[in-house]
Amino acid sequence: MIRNLHAASLALAATALTGWALTARHARRLAAQARIDPLTGALRRGPFIAAAEEKLRRTDNLAIAVADVDNLKPINDEFGHAAGDLVLAATARRLAEPLSGHLPLVGRLGGDEFAMVYVAPDPHDLRALAGRLREPVDRAGLPALPAGVSFGVATCNRRATCTLARALDVADAAMYQDKNHHRAISRTTSLLARGGRDRHSPGLRRPG
């Protein structure tokens, strides 16, 4: 009888421990889901801002960058939303690659916009990254998807009068300059291909 009670107690304890382990695992999974964007694997906006501010308080020689996927809606319209998701996921993977010997902090601010914190980045490495972001995205057995990403960077040092909000504003402005530059090149190329004239740019003609 005592042996049976002991065995029953052990079984109950094992069941309780298993339930606790499952509950703890479920809690960790929920916590991760609250922090991580499931599509891209990047941090969600809130957790990214908190982690970036902490990094800014503790680390010198940082670069804050903003990246925005160009023409995501036309990609969704022409190839489907799964293709757009593929471009977003590929962009996040490229942004998360080590740069100048350090792993960056990557967050998805929302929609097609990402923000990163890079430690002691080499300017050449940043330019190379900007180039890689514009490489087509491969699809198994299908034509590659066009990937255009506008990219802006602001340097930030905790000893300077620099806040994350200000650095993001500066990087965002640089990103929009980059985006407008690409649009101007794209429009000029399109006009030259048509041999026509844009009513908004009356002085632009095809040479020759």
What percent of the chain has a predicted confidence (pLDDT) above 90?
A: 58
Averaged over 149-173, what is the pLDDT?
A: 87
Exposure pattern of 49-75 as b/e (b: 16+ CB <10 Å)?
A: beebeebbeeeeebbbbbbbbbbbeeb
Residue 118, pLDDT above cutoff 80: yes
pLDDT tens digits, one per residue of 87-116: 999 999 999 999 999 999 999 999 999 999
Q: Specify the fold of 45-194.
A: Alpha-Beta Plaits (3.30.70)
Structure tokens at 143: 């034509």
Q: Where are the domains of the chain?
A: 45-194
Give me the catalytic one of 68, 70, 112, 172.
112
For residues 115 and 142, the model is more confident at: 115
Residue 7, pLDDT above cutoff 80: no
For residue 116, give the nearest of 36, 27, 49 by alpha carbon. Answer: 49
pLDDT tens digits, one per residue of 195-207: 444 433 333 333 3
Predicted structure pTM score: 0.74
Answer yes or no: are the C-beta atoms of 203 and 197 closer than 8 Å: no
Is residue 112 annotated as a catalytic residue, yes or no?
A: yes
Averaged over 43-70, what is the pLDDT?
A: 94
Rounded distance, CA 71 to CA 179, Å?
A: 11
pLDDT score, position 132: 93
